[in-house]
Amino acid sequence: MITNFEKPEILSPAGDMDCLKSALNFGADAVFLAGKMFGMRSAPQNFDNDQLKTACDLAHKKGARIHVTCNTLPRNNEIPHLQEFMENAQACGVDAFIIADLGVFEAAKKYAPKVQRHISTQAGVTNYAAANVLYNMGASRVVLAREIPLDEIAEMRAKVPKELEIECFVHGAMCVSFSGRCLISSYMTGRDANHGDCAQPCRWKYHLYEENRQGQYFPVEETGDGTYLYNSRDLCMIEHIPELVKAGVSSFKIEGRAKSAYYTAVTTNAYRHAVDDYFAEGDGYVLKPWIREELEKISHREYNTGFYFGREPGQVTGNGGYIRHYDNVALCEELIDDTTAVITQRNKFYVGDTLDVLPPSGVPFEIKCESLTTDDGMPVESAPHPMQRLTMKCNAPVPSGSVIRKKRD
């Protein structure tokens, strides 16, 4: 058993209420999300005041915390809206703001003094001197720049107050720009990445033009599909839990507020089990193969360990898309008996299919779909309609809240 290190928090993303519930059901200690303003992701639904209050209540009942992203780089015309936004967040019960801008940092102290202030990765904290200054200004946590290797994190941990928490990303998409500060999207599309509206031009395919050959382009080729010059690999640190803990990381952050509730469930569950296993087993800890395999069941780019070991993520130069081996086909709404479950369909599957189940307890298992029946009692051979409610007979009990997957051919 590990006793000489603090057990890190599992911090999960939520772009909407379904994602929030997935994070809480699969073991998150805290969830980071955005209100309707000042968040670095505009694509998700995000949370209005009523939803934010509900989110805080749900989290607190489970002993979890809510961190609200307030990490855009606001312009002058946005500053007057900070007071109402922060006062409402405090009234809802928010535990922490994640902040990149010093003006916003000072406003939070004034308008929401009961809410902790965390420094966003966008602030680019790369050394203990900056971390100490921010702590002295009132920060309770720094989310380090993603460019920092583990040995420097350990040095920083030794040279900042023990009360200052260190949060680091452990999983998800990497940005080609420093700490996520990017002007390429704004320059090429008019969509401001620093206000949460990134068009992700780093994922696009690029070609070379020669000025005297108008209308002709020349691929800069790695493969026949062209070259994706800036398309970074995804971060995955599931195999390096001991190193992160020993470096002094207080919070393991999973990227993905624009991703699905299924993604949140799988990633939260994997890191929850890995951390719990390490603290239970100590020096004898070995990552269970099924935990690593779970992270292959979500859509992802090629995995990498980022900058943690002194290297860099590198680019996926042959394509701009995702690797996807499994489809999320259903959510179990209710277990009626040991062989009967009420499900809501997400993707098509058939009677007779072998399905992969991830229950709230977190250890996956397989079932066989033996029959499907609609709400009006009609038997069907497949589940073709998204969000359709069906009764499924199978050969093992499927707990309520389970996500059900099917391996792609």
| β-strand partners of 172 | 235
Domain of 265 in residue numbering reads as 9-177+233-304
Residue 218, pLDDT > 60, answer: no
* 267, 325, 343 from 293: Cα distances, Å: 11, 11, 24
Q: Is 130 found in the same domain as 58?
A: yes
pLDDT band at 193 (very low <50, low <70, confident <90, very high): low
pTM, two decimal places: 0.88
Give the tens place of pLDDT for each residue, 92-130.
999 999 999 999 999 999 999 999 999 999 999 999 999
Residue 393 belongs to some domain of the structure: yes
Give the total number of structural domains in the chain: 2
Tell me the mean pLDDT in the region 294-301.
94
CATH number at residue 48: 3.20.20.70
Nearest to 14, CA basis, from 61, 52, 60: 52
Q: From 272, 304, 336, give the residue that closes a domain.
A: 304
Judge whether 269 and 277 are in contact, CB under 8 Å.
Answer: no
With a pLDDT cut of 70, the percent of the chain lying above it is 85
With a cut of 80, say whether residue 194 has pLDDT above it. no
Comparing C-alpha atoms, which of 302, 276, 297 is closest to residue 364? 297
Question: Contact 167/11 with Cβ under 8 angstroms?
Answer: yes
* Separation CA 250–CA 119 (nearest Å): 14
- Residue 381 maps to which CATH number? 2.40.30.10
